[in-house]
Amino acid sequence: MTSVSDLIATIDPGRPLLLLDADEVLLRFVERLEQYLATQGAELRLSSFQLSGNIFHRGSETPVPPEHVRDHIAGFFDACVDDVPLVDGARDALDGLREVYQIAILSNVPSRCRDRREASLKAQGLDYPVIANKGEKGPGARTLADAVSAHTVFIDDLPPQHTSVAAHAPEIHRVHFIGDPRLAKLIGKAPDAHVRFNDWPTLGDHLHALAQGQRP
């Protein structure tokens, strides 16, 4: 089971560290979630950047209550964590970036699904350690950043995670990234991120430039 301390034992302190979220950064989470909800007689209506309040039983105008949203998300991970497809360009970009960065995936996947998520990513060409985080990511990012003398980069689609990392580890370079184009249109750059991108080729160029000390 990969934990923050397991990962630290393998980290090279002299190499930059890239901490990647999985859902909507590496994986097409929302697209796969919509397919799952259809099997449950439910649907996602993307009118704002959140799940709660936007999941409906088919034909209903009343959103399902928050506890049912949680049940749907839990059911989604149990049923689908093995076959969530990659965001376009992620694998090719990381193949180039792994020369420069040590890469780890900091995902709020339920811990019971961590092994399956890591195996699924590996099967799709992303052979990187997966840490199953719970809740805010700032504390874990702080601990990991302290294990390297080189710089750390954090990438996530959720604005509150940028706020958390900014509070705990302000020196980490924070990239707001949203893989689904429909979701990407719903919000601007997270206030506590440094930059925002929606596609992997552009993000990859930014990360290469950062590693060369040229923050664009």
Number of residues that bind Mg ion (CB under 5 A): 4
Q: Which of 7, 16, 21, 210 is close enough to bind Mg ion by CB under 5 A?
A: 21
Q: Compare residues 117 and 211 and give the one whose CB is closer to Mg ion.
A: 117
Beta bridge partners of 173: 153
Binding range to Mg ion, per CB under 5 A, among 13-21, 68-76, 139-147, 191-199: 13-21
The interface with Mg ion within residues 125-144 (CB under 5 A) comprises none
User: 152 or 211: whose CB is closer to Mg ion?
Assistant: 152
Q: Which is nearer to Mg ion, 126 or 211 (CB)?
A: 126
Are the CB atoms for 157 and 21 separated by under 8 Å?
yes
DSSP the chain: ---HHHHHTT--TTS-EEEE--BTTTB-HHHHHHHHHHHTTEEE--SSS-STTSEEETT-SSBPPHHHHHHHHHHHHHHHGGGPPBPTTHHHHHHHHTTT-EEEEEE---GGGHHHHHHHHHHTT----EEE--S-SHHHHHHHHHT-SS-EEEEES-HHHHHHHHHH-TTSEEEEE---HHHHTT----TT-SEEESSHHHHHHHHHHHHTT---
157 binds Mg ion (CB under 5 A): yes
**By CB under 5 A, is residue 24 in contact with Mg ion?**
yes
**Could you tell me the smallest distance in angstroms from the CB atom of residue 25 to Mg ion?**
6
Stretch that binds Mg ion, among 31-39, 74-82, 85-93, 154-162 (CB under 5 A): 154-162
Residue 140 Cβ vs Mg ion, minimum distance, rounded to whole Å: 14
Neighbours of 171 (CB within 10 A): 9
CB of 43 to Mg ion, least distance (A): 20
- By C-beta, is 37 or 211 nearer to Mg ion? 37
Our finding on whether 180 is near Mg ion (CB under 5 A) is no
**x/- track of binding to Mg ion for residues 48-87 (CB under 5 A):** ----------------------------------------
Contacting positions for Mg ion (CB under 5 A): 21, 23-24, 157
